[in-house]
């Protein structure tokens, strides 16, 4: 499920508004430290991201070659069907049209299969990069004392310290408010 850009910004500002009370609840004198990271740029510029892009491009080229061969076969069948239609008897026309229809359906199915495979490769590659990045974010957060790291692309939290975690307090307050008439 994708969250719209506007909704993501809304939730980001809501979260930032809630960070002030979180800091007060933590009773620390240091201000909150917030960082922004551009995950798309990391994928584009990192070696792992470039490897993923190369794998995707290789797959795309292979898929395109396969589909081109199938489309050439369909064009050949179309030409043969046109030629058969021009004969007085129309010999074999029905069989060629049936075969052409079958090849068209095969092309459609193969395009869909290749698209799903491309998406699977991309998703798995991005998940692998994300899991490999977690220790990097954790180390950076510890070294630089950041409380929250946001992804610039979708305003999602990449990493947050316990200092800004307000879930327990919100649940407590929500439960207390729901008991009142």
- Distance from C-alpha of 43 to C-alpha of 59, rounded to nearest angstrom: 18
Residue-averaged pLDDT of the chain? 81
Residue burial 153-167, b: 16+ Cβ < 10 Å; e: rest: bbbeebbbbebbebe
Structural domain boundaries in the chain: 1-33+145-181, 45-131
This prediction has a pTM of 0.67
| 39, pLDDT greater than 60 | yes
pLDDT at 7: 52
The confidence band for 25, taking pLDDT boundaries of 50, 70 and 90, is: very low
**Strand bridging mode 34-37 / 148-151:** parallel
Of 19-28, 91-100, 102-111, the range with the lowest mean pLDDT is: 19-28
Q: How far is CA 111 from the centre of its chain?
A: 20
Q: Residues 43-101: pLDDT tens digits?
A: 889 999 999 999 999 999 999 999 999 999 999 999 998 988 888 887 788 899 999 99
Phi/psi of residue 175, each to 5°? -60, -40
């Amino acid at each position: 499920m994708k969250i719209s850009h506007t909704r993501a910004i809304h939730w980001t500002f809501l979260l930032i508004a809630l960070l002030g009370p979180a800091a007060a609840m933590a009773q620390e004198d240091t201000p909150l430290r917030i960082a922004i990271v551009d995950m798309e740029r990391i994928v584009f510029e990192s070696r792992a991201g470039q490897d993923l892009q190369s794998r995707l491009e290789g797959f795309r080229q292979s898929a395109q070659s396969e589909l081109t061969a199938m489309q050439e076969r369909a064009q050949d069948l179309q030409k043969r069907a046109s030629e058969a239609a021009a004969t007085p008897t129309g010999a074999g026309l029905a069989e060629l049209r049936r075969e052409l229809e079958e090849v068209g359906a095969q092309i459609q199915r193969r395009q869909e299969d290749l698209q799903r495979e491309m998406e699977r490769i991309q998703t798995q590659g991005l998940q692998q990069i994300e899991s490999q990045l977690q220790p990097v974010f954790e180390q950076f957060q510890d070294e630089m004392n950041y409380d929250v790291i946001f992804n610039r692309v979708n305003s999602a939290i990449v990493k947050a310290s316990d200092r800004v975690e307000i879930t327990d307090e919100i649940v407590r307050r929500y439960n207390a408010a729901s008991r009142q008439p």
